[in-house]
Amino acid sequence: MAKIEFSKISKSYGTAQILKGIDLQISSGEFLVLVGPSGCGKSTLLRTLAGLEKLDSGEIKVDDRNIHNVEPQNRDIAMVFQNYALYPHMDVSENMSFAMKLQKRPAKEIKEHVTQIARLLQIEHLLNRKPKDLSGGQCQRVALGRALARKTSIVLFDEPLSNLDAHLRSQMRVEIKRLHQSLKSTMIYVTHDQMEATTMGDRIAVLKDGAIEQVGTPTEIYHRPKNLFIASFIGSPEMNLIEGALLAKLPWPETQDETRRSNQILGVRPEAFKISQGPILPHELELGAFHIELSENLGGQQMLHGLLEGQNVRILVDSMDSFCKDQKLSLKIDLTKAHLFDKQTGLNQRLS
Ligand SMILES: Nc1ncnc2c1ncn2[C@@H]1O[C@H](COP(=O)(O)OP(=O)(O)OP(=O)(O)O)[C@@H](O)[C@H]1O
Ligand SMILES: [Mg+2]
């Protein structure tokens, strides 16, 4: 376990500033998920911690010690690379034990670690194969195994499950969480996958253009997004963003003035809409007719696409109820789950 502190981290390639003064503290033993659009600097940030990139300015401390002058191999950090980079001339078992052999750990201990991790990752039967004889998904699991078998105090994962099918992915998600609980290493995990971010992270840090937009628990990030970018980036299916006449119905001080209203966007997640039945509760608001255009069956739920006051809206409802095209439903929203964003600044105005 190790506590990590990034302070004012900046990094440029040529004239392009990739990391713009990043401040981030990660507690000892925490599982932090880093998410953000392609090219925002996630891999670069991991690489600075691993010692594979030099910082232009700022400092990184591990357990209150500046690691600036510590060589990568002495940082007690394992990393699962985005392109997995296995040693091609070594078989799976050698790939997994290489770093431990360098550290001159006892052969018995190495064998035990490799066997235990290989079993968890379901690659025991591949231990004698070379990487060229493995599928992409198998290579990815070997890369995970190679990093985890070392039992370092910090493990960095750069999109480690991107080549796996959906079933294996959800299995590996649980295995990595389980390993985290038993190894107790501090872990930083980069992903594009909403599900991975919210199910695995103790906290999530959302990165955009080399700067951190918000750090919080999955619940905070999902229910209390600081701005429009976070609100639309986190959550699948995406939040509905509504402008226009509908905003006049909202009972909030921010929406009373017409000029102010024209500069606002209402954000409502698809599950925060309800079909109006029975009494309207104090925290609910009746919205009017929703005109169904299309329904998508998602298994346990269905997504209805349609028009509400001339705006395209998606709502999530139970899949056992049957709806048809052109049907009209009366909708209400749960106001405690509705957000109001400023069009210019993007800031969420309903966060107290
Ligand atoms: N060695 C390099 N030289 C020049 N530019 C680089 C170099 N490495 C990365 N970059 C640029 O820095 C930016 C951030 O790259 P980085 O790999 O950190 O993004 P990322 O968030 O990991 O993206 P992805 O989700 O696609 O993996 C990108 O615009 C990339 O092109
Ligand atoms: Mg990357």
Which ligand is closest to the CA of 54, given by its number? Answer: 1
Quick one: pLDDT band at residue 352, thresholds 50, 70, 90? confident
**Cβ(309)–Cβ(250) below 8 Å:** no
Stated pTM of the model: 0.91
The pLDDT score that the predictor gives to residue 13 is 96
Ligand 1 pocket check for 15: Cβ under 6 Å: no
Domains delineated in the chain: 4-233 (3.40.50.300), 241-342 (2.40.50.140)
List the residue whose alpha carbon is closest to atom 20 of ligand 1. Answer: 39
Which ligand is closest to the CA of 40, given by its number? Answer: 1
The pLDDT score that the predictor gives to residue 151 is 84
Q: What sections of 18-86 are H helices per DSSP? A: 42-50
Atom of ligand 1 nearest to the CA of 37: 25
Q: How far is the CA of 76 from the centre of ligand 2 (A)?
A: 22
Convert the pLDDT of each residue in 119-156 to its tens digit. Answer: 988 899 999 999 999 988 889 899 999 998 888 999 99
Q: How far is the CA of 41 from the centre of ligand 1 (A)?
A: 6
**Cβ(101)–Cβ(110) below 8 Å:** yes
pLDDT at 171 over 90: no
| Closest by Cα among 98, 101, 95, 100 to 121 | 95
Atom of ligand 1 nearest to the CA of 44: 18
DSSP string, 159-227: STTTTS-HHHHHHHHHHHHHHHHHH--EEEEE-S-HHHHHHH-SEEEEEETTEEEEEE-HHHHHHS-SB
Q: Sheet harboring 57-62: ordered strands across?
A: 16-26, 4-13, 57-62, 65-66
Q: How far is the CA of 158 from the centre of ligand 2 (A)?
A: 7
Share of the chain above pLDDT 70, in %: 100
